[in-house]
Amino acid sequence: MELSKNDKNLNKETGLRATLALIPYIGGALIEVGFEHRARIKSQRVYDFFEELQHYFENVKGHDVSKEFIGSDRFNDIFEEVINKVSKTDDLKKRSRFKQLLIGTTIPNAKVNQFEIFFELTSQLHESQILLLKKFYKAKPVIEKLKNQVHELNDELNQSKSKENILKQKAQDGSIKQNESILAQTKKSEKIEREKILTENKMKDLMSVSRNDLFGVSDIDMNIFVDDLLSKRLILDISEVQMGGKSYSYDKLIISPLGYHYIDFLIEENKSSIQE
């Protein structure tokens, strides 16, 4: 007689329990961890997740919910996908991000087409990596402003240096006037150059990664996190690499368009999920 699916699962679980029990020292503990304990943890995660969703939808205003999309097959697929991830995720912050992503699909005119990409990124990224992305996200407009300042200061410096050279040539020719001072022009050039260097250093701080950015993270882990973000094209290395070499200094990094849109999505959906 052919066994039913439930009977097959029961036989499989019984076989696994018997195998685990044979492992010296840890066998008995693994039975609890591998079955009853694990099932309880997963159930609790999903239960907590449902409670949070209930709290949100009890307080959200009707015009902030797309009832049409919630009734669609697409939303059902998304919901099932999110619940599956929540049950397998022990990171509370990551589960909260999954909630933000799910809620984000229920608002009118939601960016549903981006959900799959951002859902996968949320599944893959460590919280420290998201913190780094947020740093570069916030730095992007500041970097653009500083970059413009550097260009302006560079033009000012070139003009000042040019005036210096003209004055020096006049001094050699004996045509320099009494109110024209090489020393004063040189000091002006030095002042502009100092300001330019300070501005460039501010840019460098915003475009680099250091231990100060991630509390309690080792250098090895930090390098792995950054390399992974680079491989996913969430940040870009714009340093000038000579002779085909590779730079590991991480001192000229910027957020990529994908990374920027991802963090922008998280921030936007986070706003939509917070009720005053």
pLDDT tens digits, 61-94: 888 888 888 888 998 898 899 988 998 888 888 9
- Confidence band for 276, pLDDT divided at 50, 70 and 90: very low
pLDDT at 25: 52
Specify whether 117 is located in the same domain as 24.
yes
Amino acid at 41: I
Give the DSSP letter string of the chain.
-PPPHHHHHHHHHHHHHHHHHTSTTTHHHHHIIIIIIHHHHHHHHHHHHHHHHHHHHHHS-GGGS-HHHHTSHHHHHHHHHHHHHHHT---HHHHHHHHHHHHHTTSTT--GGGHHHHHHHHHH--HHHHHHHHHHHHHHHHHHHHHHHHHHHHHHHHHHHHHHHHHHHHHHHT---TT--HHHHHHHHHHHHHHHHHHHHHHHHHT---GGGSTT--HHHHHHHHHHHHHTTSEEE-----TT----S--SEEE-HHHHHHHHHHHHHHHHH---
Residue 110 has pLDDT above 70, yes or no: yes
Residue 264 has pLDDT above 90, yes or no: no
- Confidence band for 137, pLDDT divided at 50, 70 and 90: very high
Domain boundary among the residues 124, 142, 163 is at 124
Q: pLDDT digit string (tens) for 4-22?
A: 555 555 565 566 567 656 6
pLDDT at 186: 94
- Confidence band for 56, pLDDT divided at 50, 70 and 90: confident
Residue 243 has pLDDT above 50, yes or no: no
- Confidence band for 268, pLDDT divided at 50, 70 and 90: low
Domain that holds residue 24: 12-124
Among residues 142, 143, 139, 100, the alpha carbon closest in space to that of 121 is found at 100
Specify whether 65 is located in the same domain as 161.
no
pLDDT at 180: 87
Write down the residue that tokens 């919280």 correspond to: 127
Specify whether 205 is located in the same domain as 107.
no
- Residue 7 is assigned to a structural domain of this protein: no
Q: pLDDT digit string (tens) for 159-171?
A: 999 999 999 998 8
Altogether, the residues listed in the chain come to a count of 276
pLDDT at 154: 96
Residue 127 has pLDDT above 50, yes or no: yes
Cα–Cα separations (whole angstroms), residue 273 to 59, 73, 174? 10, 22, 75
Specify whether 159 is located in the same domain as 112.
no
Cut 0.85: pTM above it: no
| Residue 48, both tokens | 């907590």
Stretch 216-231: mean pLDDT: 90
- When the pLDDT of each residue in the chain is averaged and rounded to a whole number, the result is 83
How many structural domains are present in the chain?
A: 2
- Residue 178 is assigned to a structural domain of this protein: yes
Amino acid at 127: E
Stretch 233-240: mean pLDDT: 86
Amino acid at 175: S
pLDDT at 274: 46
Specify whether 73 is located in the same domain as 179.
no
Specify whether 161 is located in the same domain as 265.
yes
